[in-house]
Amino acid sequence: GSSTRPGGGPSPPPFWAARMIPPTDAALNRLSQEFLYADLSAATGGFSAAARLGEGTYGTVFSGVLRDGTEVAIKALASPKEGGFREEVEVLSRFRHPNLVILMGFARNGRERYLVYELLPGGDVNSRLSRDPTFTWRPRLSVVLDAALGLSHLHGSRPQVFHRDVKTQNILMDRNGTGKVADFGLACLAQPNQDRLAVTQTSGTIGYADPLYIRTGVVTEKSEVYSLGMVLLEVLTGRPPALQHPNGRIEYQFDHINGDLKRLFAMVDRRGRWPNEMAKRVGGLALQCTCEHEAYRPSFVDIVKQLRAWLRDESLQQGEPQPPGPADGNPQHPAAREAHGGQAGAAGRAAYA
């Protein structure tokens, strides 16, 4: 049935409706390159176990080498609708930026759909935090600046794009350590003149999702700033925002801070070798981003300006950082795990790597 406006006339169709002709996805061919399924199968050794990079809620990711030698990551979506196939193709074909993952194209095989991305061998920020001792304060802060640049581009575009699942697992790194925002399966676009969007189903990941957005169902730039604030807290402290215990209880790691910079300072990850003044600045910015009231949160443009200036300011890089102590690392309850899989809304998906 067609929806109608309060005035009685039919509401305009969504911007893609005129071009999307199900079930052929014909319109997507105008946006993006279609690969042959046989070529992707050959690139991955028949989607072999050896080529598997990871498993997500809606599909599996494989690494592959195309016939021309290009290394790629291929996401095989068992359930394209829930997996955000159209959203990924729409957003990543229309909005291009050095800090957004490159979507090279897609493929079809029966009901299955495949997304072909550039391969980002640096992994995701979450894995690097737990496994890489060389991932200290400077590369951590640089990669958050990169993500903020990508998100600033999306929010400065018209129509504005909402990612809706900003978290450390969705910030991937290339071989030079440049960060790129990935996983646009939950992305949606505002109407051209609007800076907010009411959604029927909130989604995102527990701990990162803005409680105001979960409560109201309205997503804004400031909802995404909240999520980036949680990313800043994670790179500063080495702790994810939420842990899930075996009994299902969720422990929020930063609730007790309550805006108190001293409490946050006590949690700084010594493996990151943060200079004192830099840790204070970054902590202050993270608390601003995660402020309960949207009006007090900075914009992505402001975040970019501040992080860029601090990374260039040598006076902030003095001051003896704490040497790493034996008790450092991810201070988790032994049986607890990061609440990545826990979705704040009904639908969430794992990043491609």
What digits encode the pLDDT tens for the residues 301-343? Answer: 999 999 999 999 999 998 765 555 444 444 443 334 555 444 4
Residues of the chain with CATH 1.10.510.10: 125-338
Name the pTM for this structure: 0.84
CATH 2.60.34.10 fits 125-338, yes or no: no
Q: Which tens digit of pLDDT belongs to each residue from 134-169? A: 999 999 999 999 999 999 999 999 999 999 999 999
Q: What is the pLDDT of residues 6-33, one digit of tens each?
A: 444 554 444 443 333 333 566 666 778 8
Higher pLDDT, 65 or 331: 65
Instruction: Please indicate whether residue 165 is annotated as part of the active site.
Output: yes
Q: Which residue has the tokens 């599909």?
A: 59
Residue 172: φ, ψ to 5°: -105, 160
Q: What is the CA radius of gyration of the chain?
A: 21
C-alpha distances in Å from residue 302, one per residue of 108, 145, 289: 41, 11, 11
Residue 255 has pLDDT above 70, yes or no: yes
Which residues are annotated binding-site positions for ATP? 75
pLDDT, residue 114, reads: 94
**What pLDDT is stored for residue 318 in this prediction?**
81
Asked whether residue 347 carries a pLDDT value surpassing 80, the answer given is no
- The chain-wide mean pLDDT, for the chain, equals 85
Distance CA 195, CA 213 (A): 14
254 vs 26, residue with greater confidence: 254
Q: Which CATH architecture has domain 26-118?
A: 2-Layer Sandwich (3.30)
**Higher local confidence (pLDDT), 318 or 43:** 43
Report the pLDDT averaged over residues 225-252. Answer: 95
Look up residue 134 and give its two tokens.
């060389």
Start-end ranges of CATH 3.30.200.20 in the chain?
Answer: 26-118
Q: Find the catalytic residue in 165, 183, 210, 269.
A: 165
